[in-house]
Structure formats: structure tokens, C-alpha cells
């Protein structure tokens, strides 16, 4: 039976790399996001990669805003089964000191990063319980910020700390039911979000310093490896980061 995966935020960056890597090993993948053109680019990239290759899975697209609970429920109800959910959709806010963070920015970040991940996980969890055979995996995109904050990023930091609680809760409730949850904490993968790090970013001591980045395909490789593990193996947490970036001892 072909395995089915859903990757949220799959129109660019890490989400695209994850979707392409999963399709390359035979998963039927649906990428979701708010921008149809970007999703189509991911599907097209998968089609090009599949030319002349046997056993490559299909990449489908679905426009979806993960903060829209009704839309999320309808999307997952349209699926016959799901073996893997990758909660990758996320956003940040303009850098701002605590006293300058707007309520709008706070709610947008928390709604997308936390509530959106919960809504998708909830719907996927329910489907994993009722499908035959039952079970599946949920991988949440955490962050180094789930452990150590960057200055002027309190909304993002709080949302990623909360992802840790979400992941642990899912892992607990999936115990004995064939459902496992994993949090991948990623540090400085080279995407549009980290494009300025080579020029220098604000550090905890007030200085500005360049930080290294690494190839996001490496993260995608880990996602594939976890997805292919036997169902009786769980990987609750995994940290993948650019060597030399300020994390251990940040600040």
C-alpha cells in the first residue's frame, strides 16, 4: 500500500524540500499552503524529478489556511488515509522588543505556528485512529527557539516552546494506538527566512554577528528517515543545526 503524507507550508523552503524528498521515496504527498502558484511549483518540481524514475510518488496540491478550523477539518475529511503529517506551516513577526510587539503580530504568529499545528494534528490524529490499518506519524517543525530565544522574537519563541507541549501531548495520547509524534528542532537551514544571517543578526549580548547556515535537504533527509522507520519506533525529538551557530550557550 502506498503511504500518504501531508506537508503543510509545502509551497517553498523546508516544506518543499520535505515534500520532494518524500515523493522521491514513493510517498503520495499533498502539499498545502495559502498560495496556489507556489504549491504548483512544488508539484512541478516533483514531476520533473520523477521523469525516468521508477517508484516516485505523486505530489498533489491543496490551498489551505491552517488557522481556518473549518477548512482544515474539511481537508482532512476529504482524505481516505494519512500515514504522515508534517506540520511545517509557520510564520514570524517583525523584530521588536517586548513592549513594541503588537497584539496583531502576536496573534498572527501564535495562531499560525501553534493553533494551526494543533488543528492539523487533531484532524490527522482522528483520521489515523479510524483508518485501516490505523496509526501514523506526526512530525512538528519546532526550532532552536523552542529551547533558547533570540532577542526581539518573543512571539515566535513562545509559539515554538508551545510546539514542544503539543508534540509531547500527541506522543502521549498516541501511545498504544499506533500514533507517534516527533519534533524536529531546526537551526539556520538555508531558506528565505535565514537569507540575511550571513550578513549578521542581532545576538543576545546586543552585538550583530554573522551566523552559518546549512542545506535544507539535510532536514528533508531526516524527515524521510523518520517516516520510514518501523511503526514500533518513535523519535520524540531531533535537533538539526548549522555547526557553529549560537545555540548551546546562546547569550
Tell me which H or E stretch contains 125: helix 116-130
Which of 27, 156, 214, 222 is the catalytic position?
Answer: 156
Kindly state the cell numbers that stand for 229.
Answer: 522507520
67 is catalytic: no
C-alpha to C-alpha distance for 200 and 151, rounded to whole angstroms = 14
Residue pair 153/105 in contact (Cβ under 8 Å)? The answer is: no
C-alpha to C-alpha distance for 202 and 210, rounded to whole angstroms = 9
Report long-range pairs for 20-23 (Cβ below 8 Å, ≥24 apart): 20/45, 20/46, 20/49, 20/59, 20/220, 21/217, 21/220, 21/221, 21/223, 21/224, 22/57, 22/84, 22/220, 22/223, 22/224, 22/227, 23/49, 23/50, 23/56, 23/57, 23/58, 23/59
Active site residues: 156
Amino acid at each position: 500500500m502506498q503511504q500518504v503524507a501531508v506537508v503543510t507550508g509545502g509551497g517553498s523552503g523546508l516544506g518543499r524540500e520535505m515534500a520532494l524528498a518524500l515523493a522521491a521515496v514513493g510517498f503520495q504527498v499533498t502539499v498545502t499552503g495559502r498560495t496556489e502558484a507556489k504549491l504548483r511549483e512544488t508539484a512541478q518540481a516533483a514531476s520533473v524529478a520523477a521523469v525516468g524514475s521508477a517508484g516516485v510518488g505523486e505530489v498533489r496540491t491543496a490551498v489551505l489556511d491552517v488557522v481556518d478550523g473549518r477548512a482544515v477539518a474539511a481537508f482532512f475529511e476529504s482524505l481516505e488515509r494519512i500515514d504522515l503529517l508534517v506540520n511545517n506551516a509557520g510564520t514570524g513577526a517583525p523584530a521588536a522588543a517586548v513592549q513594541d510587539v503588537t497584539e496583531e503580530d502576536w496573534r498572527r504568529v501564535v495562531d499560525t505556528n501553534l493553533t494551526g499545528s494543533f488543528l492539523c494534528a487533531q484532524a490527522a490524529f482522528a483520521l489515523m485512529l479510524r483508518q485501516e490499518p490505523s496509526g501514523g506519524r506526526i512530525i512538528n517543525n519546532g526550532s532552536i527557539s523552542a529551547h533558547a530565544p533570540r532577542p526581539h522574537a518573543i512571539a515566535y519563541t513562545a509559539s515554538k516552546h508551545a510546539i514542544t507541549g503539543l508534540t509531547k501531548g500527541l506522543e502521549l495520547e498516541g501511545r498504544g494506538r499506533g500514533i507517534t509524534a516527533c519534533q524536529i528542532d531546526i537551526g539556520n537551514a538555508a531558506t528565505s527566512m535565514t537569507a540575511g544571517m550571513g550578513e549578521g543578526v542581532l545576538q543576545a549580548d546586543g552585538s550583530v554577528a554573522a551566523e552559518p547556515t546549512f542545506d535544507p535537504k539535510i532536514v528533508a533527509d531526516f524527515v524521510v528517515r523518520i517516516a520510514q522507520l518501523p511503526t514500533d519506533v518513535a523519535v520524540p525529538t531531533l535537533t538539526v543545526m548549522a555547526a557553529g551557530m549560537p545555540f548551546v550557550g546562546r547569550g
